[in-house]
Amino acid sequence: MSAIEIPEGSLFGLDNLPYGVFAARGGPPRAGVRVADSVIDLAAALRDEVFAAPKLNPFMAEGPARWAAARARITELITAGDVPAGAVHPLRDVELRLPFEVADYVDFYASEHHASNLGRLFRPNAEPLTPNWKHLPVGYHGRAGTVVVSGTDIIRPTGQRKGPDDPVPVFGPSIRLDIEAELGFVIGAGSALGTPVPASGFADHVFGAVLVNDWSARDLQAWEYIPLGPHLGKSFATSISPWVVPLAALQAARVPLPGQDPPPLPYLRETEDWGLDIDLAVEWNGEVVSRPPYKSMYWSPAQMLAHMTVNGASTRTGDLFASGTISGPDRAQRGAFIELTWGGTEPVTVKGEPRAFLHDGDTVTITATAPGAGRARIGFGEVTATIFPARP
Amino acid sequence: MSAIEIPEGSLFGLDNLPYGVFAARGGPPRAGVRVADSVIDLAAALRDEVFAAPKLNPFMAEGPARWAAARARITELITAGDVPAGAVHPLRDVELRLPFEVADYVDFYASEHHASNLGRLFRPNAEPLTPNWKHLPVGYHGRAGTVVVSGTDIIRPTGQRKGPDDPVPVFGPSIRLDIEAELGFVIGAGSALGTPVPASGFADHVFGAVLVNDWSARDLQAWEYIPLGPHLGKSFATSISPWVVPLAALQAARVPLPGQDPPPLPYLRETEDWGLDIDLAVEWNGEVVSRPPYKSMYWSPAQMLAHMTVNGASTRTGDLFASGTISGPDRAQRGAFIELTWGGTEPVTVKGEPRAFLHDGDTVTITATAPGAGRARIGFGEVTATIFPARP
């Protein structure tokens, strides 16, 4: 048996216990829980084969009662110092994998500050927010097959762009490669075709949350996105953090939304608060350039799920829906570089250099913390990646 | 051994041999091939466990050499009358299932006639085609989890709409429920992240084609789609035909595209003709109301795949990419009711009644044929479904 030491101030104490998929040296990928700087092999510790799968999907599909039972049992084992010694791996000795197989991926656009900023930048002659924006959480489907785990190299995408002064489109590597700092929500227990999930059903279906970096080639996106929305400008890669923070760990982070005016239609009304007081930080080559506050988001994830299914669309285990870029009211709270640098016209200083969009070799790391038990905080770990040159 | 009789004029002769997934009375779902009005159980006939899977994905993943070998062997067995009797089921005795697990679903917009018509209807004060339309195949991601097999009931979707005279959005069942008659292409052998598939690589990756009905709630779509594209107006259901016609069966249907002006960028240039001379027919409650000609499409499926991956996006076995609505130059060739009835202002007569959008109880069936060997034709079967009332 092994006692896992949890240092004072650890972001991965008993009030967190996020799930991931790890491979220990030479071993197959399987489910684990992070505690302090250790990973507990759940198949070994709980003697349950559902955790021996190479993805969290089978466990996530079991639903909230099983999630609660597993969390209670893990807590009990750690507290009692009863985790079998062979089930504990130092974090530094394991490889972290994509934690779940992504079924469908939907990306929302739920920050009023972000949507207003992008409206001003993309459509300078129109109202910043489209007429529908305060009536429904605008969102669209992204590419599930190119969701990758933190640490995966990002190859600069190639494609078409056409600036206002180009007579014809130009083909080549993107010259306006950007990030979007987001939070993503993962469906555990799916819902049937024809059966909407009400806002009150959020916790019956959603397993947990991850950090998302929705890489965006702004030049490709600007040329392609009218009339059917973003495609190639986004589909080359979306990075997620390796740890899925369960909803149970986010109870202390729940706060009311900042306020919705006009009041949304009844199917979108919140029955419980699912605003979330989560603080993100965006590091560009190791320097923090932005601190997006999730609590400033206009639409809650419960509203996103209610909207996504109100037409009868089913959900499946592994569906990922992300918030869209998180931007607060202040400049230093903007979660995308196009906003932070106002379309590149107001560069930020990174390691002493003025910078707007991403260069090859740049590394971006997004981290987040939230209130935990008492005065403690919990962490989401990080989603990080480095940009590699476009392939010739 | 069993000799399968193929009547003169059958659309399912040896030049077709489409793949599907069937369940015989009491049996598990497994792969089959359709010949005339029979289904051959491939696991039993070829003694190959890859066909015992409940989806075509494992076989599709094996790639073009294996697809060719299986087709040759099946042809040989049928020609020689050597199909084991127990491996042959009358079509009427089996249930047809979703033939493959859909990984990502992308819907293009490749008909110039359709895009122009919709531009005129949705954006009457602007140029019908957006500036990008002739430079790239416009497309977007749809919901993979709500792709259903022909015969699955379609429940009328509920959601928000807002007409020009409505002061605020109205919530309720869609009142402009429509179809989109399309052809869909299925990836068999996937491609790696960071590695574009050139137009010349089409047949190395694409396994075959299906008929698609991309149900569309026009009122939901019109209100939601700016700026990120269609979402709820499409995501409630997309129907596909149960038979996947392999690319090998489409050789006689290959024709040059109608012509592209301006010439596309080099990565989009066709090295071989992948225009397809496929004739569709749309039946509304049993009456043919439209005959969309696939050969009128502006962009080829090889160009769609080249575009979809030029940014480095990977593809996976089971990815489905559809053409978008197929509309020819004539009114009676339009593949969506919103075009056929010009936004509902020019109803068509169905069973003696003027009709514009779908009523509860309506059935829509899309069929298609293409040139086969010699003077014969091959069939795609059908994608059919009936509309059920919105859930209260």
**Predicted pLDDT of residue A26:** 84
Alpha carbon distances (Å) from A98 to A240, A241, A356:
8, 8, 30
- How many helical (H) and strand (E) elements, i.e. helices and strands, does chain B have? 9, 26
**Predicted pLDDT of residue A200:** 98
**Predicted pLDDT of residue B2:** 74
**Predicted pLDDT of residue B392:** 82
Phi, psi dihedral angles at A219 (to 5 degrees): -70, -40
Within 10 angstroms of residue B69's Cβ, the number of other Cβ atoms is 12
Q: How far is A214 from chain B (nearest CA, A)?
A: 14
Query: Which residue does chain B place closest to A313, by CA atoms?
Result: B236
B85 touches chain A (CB under 8 A): no
- Residue B114 a catalytic site member: yes
The mean pLDDT of A169-196, rounded to a whole number, is 98
pLDDT in tens, chain B (392 residues): 778 999 999 999 999 999 999 999 889 999 999 999 999 999 999 999 999 999 999 999 999 999 999 999 999 999 999 999 999 999 999 999 999 999 999 999 999 999 999 999 988 999 999 999 999 999 999 999 999 999 999 999 999 999 989 999 999 999 999 999 999 999 999 999 999 999 999 999 999 999 999 999 999 999 999 999 999 999 999 999 999 999 999 999 999 999 999 999 999 999 999 999 999 999 999 999 999 999 999 999 999 999 999 999 999 999 999 999 999 999 999 999 999 999 999 999 999 999 999 999 999 999 999 999 888 999 999 999 999 999 98
Assign residue B318 a region (left: φ > 0; alpha: ψ between -120 and 50; beta: otherwise). Answer: left
Within 8 A by CB and 6+ apart from A242, the residues are A20, A21, A96, A97, A98, A99, A149, A150, A151, A381
Cβ-defined contact of A159 to B131 (cutoff 8 Å): no
The mean pLDDT of A345-360, rounded to a whole number, is 97
Catalytically active residues of A are 114
Listing DSSP states for A229-247 in one string gives --SHHHHT-EEE-S-BEEG
Per-residue pLDDT at A374 exceeds 90: no
CB A149 within 8 A of CB A113: no
**Predicted pLDDT of residue A123:** 87
Alpha carbon distances (Å) from A363 to A91, A178, A216:
22, 12, 15
What residues of B are in contact with residue A196 (Cβ under 8 Å)? 158
What residues of A are in contact with residue B106 (Cβ under 8 Å)? 231
A193 touches chain B (CB under 8 A): yes
A124 touches chain B (CB under 8 A): no
Nearest to B265 among A146, A160, A311 (CB): A160
| pLDDT band (50, 70, 90) for residue A24 | very high
**Predicted pLDDT of residue B3:** 81
Residue A270, both tokens: 């919140």
CB B316 within 8 A of CB B187: yes
A126 touches chain B (CB under 8 A): no
Cβ-defined contact of A226 to B130 (cutoff 8 Å): yes
Place of tokens 């595209």: B257
**Predicted pLDDT of residue B374:** 87
Residue B338, both tokens: 């919103």
Cβ-defined contact of A132 to B157 (cutoff 8 Å): no
In a 3-state reduction of DSSP, which class is residue B120? Answer: helix
Cβ-defined contact of A138 to B227 (cutoff 8 Å): yes
B80 touches chain A (CB under 8 A): no
Per-residue pLDDT at A2 exceeds 80: no
Quick check: pTM over 0.95?
A: yes
Beta strands in A277-392 (DSSP E): 279-284, 287-290, 320-322, 348-350, 353-355, 363-371, 377-388
Beta strands in B335-389 (DSSP E): 348-350, 353-355, 363-371, 377-388
Phi, psi dihedral angles at A164 (to 5 degrees): -60, -25
Is B346 buried (19+), middle (13-18) or exposed (0-12) by CB count in 10 A? exposed
The two beta strands, A206-213 and A238-240, are: antiparallel
Q: How far is B223 from chain A (nearest CA, A)?
A: 7
A232 touches chain B (CB under 8 A): yes
**Predicted pLDDT of residue B330:** 98
Q: pLDDT tens for residues A237-275?
A: 999 999 999 999 999 999 999 999 999 999 999 999 999
CB A82 within 8 A of CB A73: no
Nearest to B311 among A140, A235, A311 (CB): A235
A164 touches chain B (CB under 8 A): no
Q: pLDDT tens for residues A297-347?
A: 999 999 999 999 999 999 999 999 999 999 999 999 999 999 999 999 999
Active-site position among B89, B114, B205, B307: B114
Instruction: Report how far residue A252's alpha carbon sits from residue A249's, in angstroms, rounded to the nearest whole number.
Output: 7
Provide the 8-state DSSP code for A384: E
Q: Report B:254-273 residues touching A (Cβ under 8 A).
A: 262, 265-267
Instruction: Report how far residue A372's alpha carbon sits from residue A369's, in angstroms, rounded to the nearest whole number.
Output: 9
What residues of B are in contact with residue A146 (Cβ under 8 Å)? 193, 313-314
Which element (helix H / strand E) includes B177? strand B177-178
In a 3-state reduction of DSSP, which class is residue A296? Answer: helix
CB A233 within 8 A of CB A195: no
Instruction: Report how far residue B83's alpha carbon sits from residue B2's, in angstroms, rounded to the nearest whole number.
Output: 5
What residues of A are in contact with residue B157 (Cβ under 8 Å)? 311-312
CB pairs A-B closer than 8 Å: 196
Query: Which residue does chain A place closest to B227, by CA atoms?
Result: A229
B7 touches chain A (CB under 8 A): no
Taking all residues of chain A, what is their mean pLDDT, rounded to a whole number? Answer: 97
Q: How far is A225 from chain B (nearest CA, A)?
A: 7
Q: pLDDT tens for residues A207-247?
A: 999 999 999 999 999 999 999 999 999 999 999 999 999 99
The mean pLDDT of A98-113, rounded to a whole number, is 98
Is A286 buried (19+), middle (13-18) or exposed (0-12) by CB count in 10 A? exposed
Alpha carbon distances (Å) from B164 to A119, A124, A376, B222:
22, 23, 52, 11
